Amino acid sequence: MTGGSALVVGLVVAIADGDTLTLVNEDFRQIKVRLAEIDAPKMRQAFGARSRQSLAEVCYKKRAVVRGFDVDRYQRVVGRVKCDGKDANAAQVRRGMAWVYDQYAKDKTLYRLQDEARSAGRGLWADQHHVAPWDWRRGGATGETLRGTLNPPSCSHAARSSVRPVMRVGLGFVPPGPAEAHALLMNRLRRSTGLDRVALDSGMAHPVARDGWSASG
């Protein structure tokens, strides 16, 4: 793994689950991102579909700024994500749609948000038999397995009239062609920031393949 950090800016085009998304930068390169310091229920786990829907409400089709800390074994950028200025990592914990990932958490304020969500019985904390994803992955799954289909927030009428609807591909959503996606991305970035180019720090910036982010080391 490569240390350092990288600033990645783009438009969120896919939500895999409650802690993983894909964005497209201005060069139409897809970058998979794993939200750092949190762990959301998996799709076959109770609250998995609802957690995914929650992240879609926060980030889908929005401008995202990712402060990447590392690249995991699945070639995803791991970092803190802000979607239209909103801290997505913190939002998922606050909504009760993700746990603080004890093994990797550095931001101790996330624990306060988790305690508040637990006390209020929000999201997964309403389930008396909730199981942390790291335990569930080891075979400790209990409780009801929820299944559902993500229904991302709709585009505005103006966006629908100028850009063809996105296509469903697997668990994510991708634009039907580079021209439409690029136009939508650049319009959103310019309206929200005035940026003409996506900024990448040198610490971890390497060419990005269409199926993810690659880094040396």
Asked, for residue 107, whether it belongs to a domain, the answer is: yes
Asked, for residue 196, whether it belongs to a domain, the answer is: yes
Tokens 């350092």 -> residue: 4
Q: Which domain holds residue 112?
A: 6-213
Asked, for residue 99, whether it belongs to a domain, the answer is: yes
**Per-residue model confidence (pLDDT) at position 24:** 97
Q: What is the CATH number of the domain that holds 166?
A: 2.40.50.90
Q: Decide if 135 contacts 45 (C-beta within 8 A).
A: no
> For every one of its 217 residues, what pLDDT tens digit does the chain have, with 9 covering 90 and above?
445 678 999 999 999 999 999 999 989 999 999 999 999 998 888 889 999 999 999 999 999 999 998 999 999 999 999 999 999 999 999 999 999 999 999 999 999 999 999 999 999 999 888 788 777 777 744 443 333 334 444 433 333 332 233 333 334 444 444 455 556 665 665 555 444 433 333 233 333 333 333 332 2
Q: If residue 16 lies in a helix (H) or strand (E), which one and from where to where?
A: strand 6-17
> Residue 109 contacts by C-beta under 8 Å, 6 or more apart in sequence?
90
Asked, for residue 155, whether it belongs to a domain, the answer is: yes
- Total number of domains in the chain: 1
